[in-house]
Structure 1
Amino acid sequence: MQLTHRFAADLAALWPEDERAGPLGLAVSGGADSLALLLLAHQAMPGRIAVCSIDHGLRSEAADEVALVERIAATRDIPFTPITVRLAPGNMQAQARAARYAAVADWALAAGLGAVATAHHADDQAETLLMRLNRGSGLAGLAGVRARSTIDGSDVTLLRPLLGWRKAELAKVVAAVGIIPVEDPSNTNPAFDRARLRARLAEADWLDPVQIAASAAHLAEGWQALEWYAELDWHEMVMREEGDAPGFSYCANVPRIIAIETIGRIIRELGGHVSRAEVARAWDRLWAGENASLGGVLAVPGVERVEKVGVMMRVWRFRPEPARGRVN
């Protein structure tokens, strides 16, 4: 009962009762983490959850794992939906993740769910943060997985109420009711970076995944503040310019990390697609007084008097590149 109250409080912090316009959907794989999510949610809000399980077609055992989740849901009268997705050749892990979330979003909308929850926990968050630190990720990446967000390409609310829970705690929840969870072999396959890091973390008992996950949450709050400032920068310092070649002028007067967000938005508005790293390199050129080309857009720096503030400022102009001179 204590664990149920704890889960209910964690969920309410992300999804208050007065915001709940439908049942909570759970994406459950059959592993201990997601089965614990199912059990805790069922105890905390009986009759107000639904479950889906996804077969990516990558392992022969996947169909049996979906069937396991279906049986567990059926014994508790929880609505269950099996989902099958098929992937094209390529980066299977990235494709599987994108296809999984897209399928879950479609399911949530079709079923009239109020939100969807996944079973990411503190150990997952710690692994994500350390992996991204090792890759030199920027602040957006170091914020880790968000406790509350939306599924890409949709308005479906995505919740991760277990980010303060340890993997071992969740395993005990499942063991307590006599369920034997499935084990995904990729979780221990040293061919994957995460599996190698997981093995090293298990040896480093001086590291506290809950505290590392808390640091990721603090970084997420910092990133949220920067996103707020970038939105303000967009509305106050970016002006649309019409003419034969419509574009934007930007009074670049904010720290680099915020300008990167604003420039990226300008490029998207002009139909381009760029990474933050590409925008960062373009900012460096513009700050040095050099033209920059990215995403099919030409950016030209200058300094001029800005009437709305009455002072000289850096003003950068962005226009689609002429087809003949476009740099890919």
Structure 2
Amino acid sequence: MTGPVPGLDPAHVARFGADTECTLGGPLPEEAWLALAVSGGPDSMAMLALATAAFPHQVLAATIDHGLRASAATEAAMVARWCADASVPHQTLALHEEIGPRAIQATARALRYDRLGEWVAETGAVALATAHHVDDQAETVLMRAVRGSGPAGLAGVRPYRFQHADPAAASLSSDFAIIRPLLGWRRAELRAIVLAANIPFVDDPSNADRQFERVRVRGLLADTPWLDPAGLARTAHHAGEAHAALEEIAAWLWDDRLLDRGEGVIALRIADLPRAVQRLLVRRAILAVRHSARITRPAFDLASNVESFLDALRIGVSATQGGVMASPIADIVQFTPEPPRRSR
């Protein structure tokens, strides 16, 4: 069932509804809420309008105020006004921590998802939708390719993934699903939608700041026509399929090779396995220890580069990554929380 939003093409609304249900794995249940992360940019405002039309009375939205720009509160208020006019519940959320001067975009992203996870838990929404699209995916693939990423990294952002709660976050934080229903849409067509429907939006000035790697990559794509964003997005899709197949193998081997699992301790027999499989099992072990020991910093996920870590294990040397220490003993590797560093 869909409802009108003035100025929207019904074909766009139907396409968005179908893409959302495909990403969810089925129809949005009746009386269920779909949560939207809306920054106020053209991409997220297009998603907000399309979702409001495709799923009337089942959409709610939140805008994060990172506290980095004086205009952020005004932009959040703009989103709130549009939502009020469309009868969409909206909240402006502040972060619990300051972002700091280093790795601004990566830190902001981690804190943003922590805060959104709390909000999703409060609302009981079935999933959080973000406005990542084809061009975002292409930028991500290029950024990871130059770092030598494998299938996990080249898969880019996933259409659907489960975000695990930060174990050190507030009590309302919980696991939640994230969907990207716009991964088949181009940036230009989303901008055209909001312009045609006279939907307000803002252009974040940080999107033009070339100190950020993503902005430089975006400029490269714009200046290099033969670097096709749609082709790069297809590469991400194929890499995602390959990674999913490897993960199935790793899940089976995890059960077969797990020798011990105590409180904050993992022991695995992996020395005889191919390096590609070792890579997956090592990441799983690091994440398991981090979760058990409530380690949240430094950042680590299933796409993190662990090559130097594996090199050390191969020659029988202990190594640390993501706050976890691995100690090889014969063909077994024991993973434990990294011990505190001695102060002089």
Q: How high is the TM-score relative to the length of structure 2?
A: 0.81
The residue aligned with 2:20 is 11
Task: Give the drift of 1:27.
Answer: 0.7
> Which one-letter code corresponds to 1:284 in the other structure?
D
In structure 1, how many angstroms separate the alpha carbons of the residues matched to 2:107 and 2:319?
Answer: 30
In structure 2, how many angstroms separate the alpha carbons of the residues matched to 1:269 and 1:166?
Answer: 37
Kept in 2: contact 1:247–1:270 (CA 8 A): yes
In structure 1, how many angstroms separate the alpha carbons of the residues matched to 2:326 and 2:228?
Answer: 45
**Residues 262 and 184 of structure 1: is their aligned pair in 2 closer, same or farther, counting only changes over 3 Å?**
same
1:237 partnered with 2:257 = yes
In structure 1, how many angstroms separate the alpha carbons of the residues matched to 2:250 and 2:84?
Answer: 47
Task: Give the drift of 1:317.
Answer: 4.4
Superposition map of 1:83-232 within 5 A: 83-85=93-95, 86-91=97-102, 92-153=104-165, 154-232=174-252
Task: Give the drift of 1:6.
Answer: 1.1
Match among 33, 40, 43 for residue 43 of structure 2: 33
**Residues 61 and 296 of structure 1: is their aligned pair in 2 closer, same or farther, counting only changes over 3 Å?**
same
In structure 1, how many angstroms separate the alpha carbons of the residues matched to 2:41 and 2:77?
Answer: 13
Kept in 2: contact 1:237–1:251 (CA 8 A): yes
Comparing 121-130 with 207-216, greater Cα deviation is found at 207-216
> Which one-letter code corresponds to 1:37 in the other structure?
M
Task: Give the drift of 1:108.
Answer: 0.8
For the pair shown, which has the larger CA radius of gyration, 1 or 2?
1
The residue aligned with 1:312 is none
Q: Cα deviations across residues 3-61 of structure 1 (Å, max 9, x unaligned)?
A: 11111111111113456472101111111000000011111111110011111111011
Task: Give the drift of 1:89.
Answer: 2.2
Aligned residues with identical type, % of pairs: 38
> Which one-letter code corresponds to 1:147 in the other structure?
P
> Which one-letter code corresponds to 2:142 in the other structure?
L
Task: Give the drift of 1:255.
Answer: 1.7
Look up the SS of the partner of 2:115 in the other structure.
helix
Look up the SS of the partner of 2:238 in the other structure.
helix
Comparing 261-270 with 56-65, greater Cα deviation is found at 261-270
Kept in 2: contact 1:298–1:321 (CA 8 A): no
> Which one-letter code corresponds to 2:308 in the other structure?
R
Superposition map of 1:280-299 within 5 A: 280-288=307-315, 290-294=316-320, 295-299=324-328
**Residues 235 and 205 of structure 1: is their aligned pair in 2 closer, same or farther, counting only changes over 3 Å?**
same
In structure 1, how many angstroms separate the alpha carbons of the residues matched to 2:61 and 2:164?
Answer: 20
Task: Give the drift of 1:269.
Answer: 5.0
Task: Give the drift of 1:128.
Answer: 0.7
**Residues 292 and 41 of structure 1: is their aligned pair in 2 closer, same or farther, counting only changes over 3 Å?**
same
Match among 259, 267, 271 for residue 278 of structure 2: 259
In structure 2, how many angstroms separate the alpha carbons of the residues matched to 1:93 and 1:14?
Answer: 26
**Residues 229 and 31 of structure 1: is their aligned pair in 2 closer, same or farther, counting only changes over 3 Å?**
same
Task: Give the drift of 1:187.
Answer: 0.5
The residue aligned with 1:82 is 92
In structure 2, how many angstroms separate the alpha carbons of the residues matched to 1:163 and 1:2?
Answer: 17
In structure 1, how many angstroms separate the alpha carbons of the residues matched to 2:147 and 2:305?
Answer: 16
The residue aligned with 2:56 is 46
The residue aligned with 2:329 is 300
Task: Give the drift of 1:277.
Answer: 7.0
Task: Give the drift of 1:278.
Answer: 7.4
Look up the SS of the partner of 2:198 in the other structure.
coil
- Give the unaligned 5+ runs of structure 1: 302-314
The residue aligned with 1:55 is 65
In structure 2, how many angstroms separate the alpha carbons of the residues matched to 1:138 and 1:210?
Answer: 20
**Residues 158 and 176 of structure 1: is their aligned pair in 2 closer, same or farther, counting only changes over 3 Å?**
same
**Residues 112 and 140 of structure 1: is their aligned pair in 2 closer, same or farther, counting only changes over 3 Å?**
same
**Residues 322 and 73 of structure 1: is their aligned pair in 2 closer, same or farther, counting only changes over 3 Å?**
closer
In structure 2, how many angstroms separate the alpha carbons of the residues matched to 1:121 and 1:251?
Answer: 38
The residue aligned with 2:269 is 250
Count of residue correspondences: 309
1:318 partnered with 2:334 = yes
- Give the unaligned 5+ runs of structure 2: 1-9, 166-173
Task: Give the drift of 1:265.
Answer: 3.4
Task: Give the drift of 1:186.
Answer: 0.8
